[in-house]
Amino acid sequence: MATSAVIDVHTHCLTEAWFKLLQDHGGPRYTVRQVTGGMRAIHLDGAPFMTPVPAMFDYDLRLRTMDEVGVDVSIVSLTCPNCYWGGPDVSLQAAQIMNDDMAAARTVHPDRLRWFASLPWQYPEHALVELERAAASGASGVMVLANIDGRSLTEPAFEPIWRAIDARSLPVLVHPTAPPGVAAMDMTRFQLTASLGFTFDTSLAVARMIYDGFFDRHRRLKIIAAHGGGALPYLISRMDQCYENIPA
């Protein structure tokens, strides 16, 4: 009896070239520091933010791990802070580095790997060019962080990008990053940015899409909300109640 393939749609990769570009151009917000065990960690505004693990840099190790846990296909994507740093040229270069690397890995392992493209969203003209290039290189979809350096995904400035993605019927993985105001909310201690802030970030981004008429404008678009949809599955009834009963 045939069994369904196990596909991991949320798994991340990095390259040393991307990491060096971040070290050289990510400041002052993003810095790289040595942490326990000799590992490198990305810090955001001086607080721990993201710690890469070896399999992110090593496709052979990734494939062995996939075999061990029973994953047939992985759809890899860049993690946060993605390419939303540096000026236009640096941001585009960061996206190109990762998209080229993921496309090459897909060519070497066509039965095991797919990839979601990264785009320099804060520079829409560059993002549209890179979307075209990534789609031609075989991207299975797009990965976007739940806020673009504090900006909502439903801002009018991003509409041309969403229209282009929608026209290609590409799925989009909405992945969290630090929501705006983590320092003001005292979330930089105890890893609260990653544990609670990330789920809040995804929930807020997708909630805005629901209420904003986003899915009416982009009818072919399929959104994958990372980490089980954040807190949305647990709060959707409360969202309905508040929207319907609290006067505007």
- Give phi and psi for 113, each to the nearest 5: -125, 140
Q: CA-CA distance, 248 to 230, in Å (whole number)?
A: 26
Q: CA-CA distance, 220 to 200, in Å (whole number)?
A: 26
Q: Which of 119, 172, 168, 169 is nearest to 148 (CA)?
A: 119
- Pick left, alpha or beta for residue 210 (phi over 0 → left; psi -120 to 50 → alpha; otherwise beta): alpha
Q: CA-CA distance, 234 to 2, in Å (whole number)?
A: 34
Domains, the chain, with CATH or none: 7-15+54-245 (3.20.20.140)
* pLDDT tens column, 105-118: 999 999 999 999 99
Enter the pTM of the model: 0.93
* pLDDT tens column, 190-234: 888 888 889 999 999 999 999 999 999 999 999 999 999 888 999
* pLDDT tens column, 123-153: 999 999 999 999 999 999 999 999 999 999 9
Q: CA-CA distance, 159 to 151, in Å (whole number)?
A: 13
